[in-house]
Amino acid sequence: MSDTKTFLITGVSTGLGRALARAALAEGHRVVGTVRTPADARDFEALAGDAHARILDVTDHDAVDTVVDETERDLGPVDVLVANAGYGHDGLFEESSMDDLRRQFEVNVYGTVAVIKAVLPHMRKRRRGHIIAVTSMGGLITMPGLSFYHGSKFAVEGILETLGKEVADFGIHVTAVEPGSFRTDWAGRSMIRAPRAIADYDELYEPLRTRRIQGSGRQPGDPDKAAAAVLRIVAADQPPTRLLLGTDALRLVRSGRDAFEREMRAWAELSASTDFDDVGQSA
């Protein structure tokens, strides 16, 4: 079988999606990339290599099905799906609206699921494929001011882990890629920020928001190196279920897991006290 693959990557206009598309094209792969505007489509198809743009809003689920089916028909089987499209919502829980929450989940969760559901039947019939979704270290740990974003990424993490167990026997791999802070537009123009309204949160939150804004463009993560890492797991015979990207992701997730372990041990006796008295006893 040829090592050349067809990738379908959502959100290739900027950021990690763009970097991954460029890297895959440079390795000789075919890349179908989704964008939001005709100008972005022309820009993407001007890249060197076998690049094909499709205009798509991942919240339009009928359009998602159409793009996937047309790709399979016109360009061949999708070997690798990278569900990358998404955005961040920066806002305190109490200051963010239900519409903010709905939109965050429509894009980050429902959009991701819609693309996976469109591709999965084709991969299942072929008994091969690799489904990758770009979540975040924020799908494993939390920070003040990102509750809606964290909620969306935690949801995707649970969906992907479950899906991986359901399709393992079909030769389909499922990987959650969890970047830390990378030098993309995530904390810049791609971030939606809820307006401030409640002074009680000023001391906690204003320094955090200021650091996020001032740090945009100076994050430690290199998108091109992230793209190279993703291509390594695509080439692996047994790719990981999860792949953290960045030293900050490793540090913060380890710290969060350690805190959870300490709390679990501290309350283990109470946790175990809720079983029926005869559980574990022989009849």
Task: Please tell me which residue in 87, 110, 149, 201 is annotated as part of the active site.
Answer: 149
Rounded to whole angstroms, what are the CA distances from 215 to 139, 171, 219, 244, 260? 21, 41, 6, 21, 28
The dihedral formed by the CA atoms of 150, 156, 162 and 166, expressed in degrees to the nearest 10: -170
Q: Provide the b/e sequence for 147-167 (b: ≥16 CB within 10 Å).
A: bbbbbbbbbbbebbeebbeeb
Residue 179 pairs in a beta bridge with: 245
Lookup result for tokens 């030293």? 247
149 is catalytic: yes
Give the residue numbers marked as catalytic. 149
